[in-house]
Structures are given as structure tokens and as C-alpha cells.
Amino acid sequence: MIKKPLYVLTFSLLIFFAGLGTVGAEEIKKDFHQSFDVKEGDSLCLRFGDGNVQLIPWEKDIIDVKVRYRADIDIVGVRLGTRQDFDVEFRRTGSTVYVSGKEPSGAAIGFYNKREFEYIYEIHSPGYITLDLEGDDGNVDIENWAAGIECRIEDGDVHLRDIVGGKTSIWGEDGNVEIDNLNGSLAIEVDDGDVHLRACHMESCRVEGEDGEITVSQSTGDFDLASDDGDVVMKEIEAKGLNITTADGDVEVDLLTAETLDAEIKTDDGDISIDLGKRPSVLFYVSANDADSIKIDFKNIEDYKQDKYIKSGSIDGGNGRLKIRTADGDVTIKGSM
């Protein structure tokens, strides 16, 4: 038996499939439209895959869903199995409306390629509908909503604006999360994506990230922020509770007031800079690898103590509490008296 080298067989297969040409090349065009009567207390469960989602509030007691799908599929070679076209399943069970995108699947001996150039869910709905959203690479855009939101997404971005009431929960991987003007409770967990919060007023705010940056500006509430390698930046903040933990990221906090602050900040290698704002009143305790890396920019500190690793004391009566621990980073605390 004569054994042909592997590269000869590979080359032969390439010539064979090239001879077949493009088999089954096609453009898929799909449009779907469905409406449901709803009332307050109802919910929408949406599975959108790689599609982009736009939720538009209106005054009608109707959820109106339009889906537009456009894709090119090229197959060079022999198709295996039965092709599954794109489809959308609509159904209602009890108080929940279900919308699920069914994306094409298939395999071929040779070359298989799918190029999506438009995949959109346009949904009009009253803002009182509770949302349960799950997708892969698509983006989500929601504004003027007044009910709870749960969103699980892989690489897509999430944009929220003018969210009032309820709890908002977001789980993501590489996509960014951007939120403007949220009132309520917020929980975010992402891997490499950045998180940006602006003008939010939150009963509680929990953000967990890995490599992305966490930025919060012009916001109020109780904050619990954790990051591995990403920085944490807070600007013009009113915080009663503040808990920040990072591994290698830097922490920068700019507070408007710190009279009733209860804060704890911990880093491994990152630097920490905190501005306590106007007329701060805090009891502070700072621990670092070297006390010389700790800078307290205040005069007339009460009960001041210092040793090789620690600086502590009280500013203007010490109504609030500030505890900082870092391994190798520098610490700066300042404010406007």
C-alpha cells in the first residue's frame, strides 16, 4: 500500500473543493412582526443571540416586536445535514411574553462562512414591563424604563438611559456598560469591559470587573466596587457607604462631602488618591508598606498617630470613617476645609 504524504492529500482536497465552486451561496432576508396586549406586572423574556436590541417606550399597553435579519451565507464544498433558516419564536405563557431568535446552523466539508450585515430587534413597549434579556454579541439600548431589568450578554455593549425604579442587573464579558441617570439599585458583573456610570442615584451599587475601568461621576448612593487590574475613578460623588477593592488598579475618588462617610479602600499595587471635599469630618486610618508613601494634606489633625506603616487621626470631629490599606502603592488624602 502506497501512503501519500499529508500535504499531498490536503492539496488534493483543496483542488477538489475549488473545483466545486461556491455551493449554496445565498442571501437570507427575514422580517418578523408580532404584538401582544400587556398590563402592569407582565414581563418580556428576550433571547436575541447576536442581534442588536433597541427598546423604545410608548404609552400603549402593547408589546410590539419587529425583527429584521439580513445575512450572506457562502458554502464551498458539500453541505452536511439539513440547513436551519433563521427564525423567531413568539409565544406567551401566563404574564410573560417570550421572544427567541433561532439563528442558522449548518456544517460543510470545505468552507462555510456566514456574514451578518443586519440583525435588529426593535421593540416598542410600555416602560412598566419587567425585562429578562440574554444575548451573545449584540448590543442593547434601553431608555426611559420604570421596571426591573436583567441582562446577560457576552461581547455586546449595554447602554441604559433614564432608568427609574426597580433593580437593574447586568452580567457581561468583553462588552462595555454605559448608564446615564439611573435611579434604583444596580448590580454589574463584567470581565474585560469598561463600566461608566453618570448622574445615577442608587440605593445600592455593586460593580465587579476584571481588566476594565470603572468610572462613576456625578452620582450618589452606597458603592461597592471591585476590580482586578482596572482603575476605579469616581468624580463628584456623594457616598454614605464606599467599599473599593482592586489588585493592580489605581483608585481616584473625588467626594463632594464626607461628613457621614463610611469608607474602606484596599489595593495591592495601586495608588490611592481621595479628595474628601468641603469641610470633611472623618476618622481616618491608613496602612501602607511605608508610612512615607502616605500623604495627609490637612492641618490641625486631632489624635494623630504614626509608626512605620500607619498614619491615623481625626479631622474636624471625626463623624465619618475612612480606612485605607495598600501594599506597594502611594496614598494621598486631601480636601477643602
pLDDT digits (tens, 9 = 90+) for 107-121: 555 455 667 689 999
Percentage above 90 pLDDT, the chain:
69
What is the pLDDT, as a whole number, of residue 73? 74
What is the pLDDT, as a whole number, of residue 76? 58
Residues 295-317, mean pLDDT to the nearest whole number: 91
What is the pLDDT, as a whole number, of residue 275? 95
Write out the residue range of the structural domain in which residue 43 sits.
23-136
What is the pLDDT, as a whole number, of residue 24? 55
| Lowest-pLDDT choice from 114-123, 166-175, 240-249, 313-322 | 114-123
Q: Is 240 left (phi over 0), alpha (psi -120 to 50) or beta?
A: alpha
Query: In this structure, is residue 307 part of a structural domain?
Result: no
| Lowest-pLDDT choice from 66-80, 102-116, 117-131, 217-231 | 102-116
Query: In this structure, is residue 110 part of a structural domain?
Result: yes
Q: Is the pLDDT of residue 179 over 50?
A: yes
CB-based contact 333:322 (threshold 8 Å): yes
CB-based contact 238:218 (threshold 8 Å): no
Cα dihedral value 17, 21, 23, 28, nearest 10: 130
Residues 98-106, mean pLDDT to the nearest whole number: 83
Q: Distance of CA 265 to CAs 119, 280, 327, Å?
A: 43, 17, 12
- At residue 18 the predicted structure's pLDDT band, cuts being 50, 70 and 90, is very low
Q: Is the pLDDT of residue 132 over 60?
A: yes
Query: In this structure, is residue 230 part of a structural domain?
Result: no
Handedness of CA 135, 139, 144, 150 (dihedral sign): positive
| Lowest-pLDDT choice from 5-19, 109-123, 275-289 | 5-19
Residue 285: other Cβ atoms inside 10 A:
16
pTM recorded for the entire structure: 0.86
- Look at 10 and 129; give whichever has higher pLDDT: 129
Rounded distance, CA 28 to CA 21, Å?
20
Rounded distance, CA 68 to CA 263, Å?
48
Phi, psi (deg, nearest 5) at residue 11: -65, -40
What is the pLDDT, as a whole number, of residue 240? 85
Split into its structural domains, the chain has a count of 1
Counting runs of H as helices and runs of E as strands, what totals does the chain give? 1, 25
Query: In this structure, is residue 115 part of a structural domain?
Result: yes
What is the pLDDT, as a whole number, of residue 14? 47
Query: In this structure, is residue 158 part of a structural domain?
Result: no
What is the pLDDT, as a whole number, of residue 77? 53
Grid coordinates representing 32?
418578523
Query: In this structure, is residue 15 part of a structural domain?
Result: no
Residues 205-233, mean pLDDT to the nearest whole number: 95
Query: In this structure, is residue 71 part of a structural domain?
Result: yes
What is the pLDDT, as a whole number, of residue 15? 47
- At residue 258 the predicted structure's pLDDT band, cuts being 50, 70 and 90, is confident
Query: In this structure, is residue 96 part of a structural domain?
Result: yes
- Look at 58 and 12; give whichever has higher pLDDT: 58
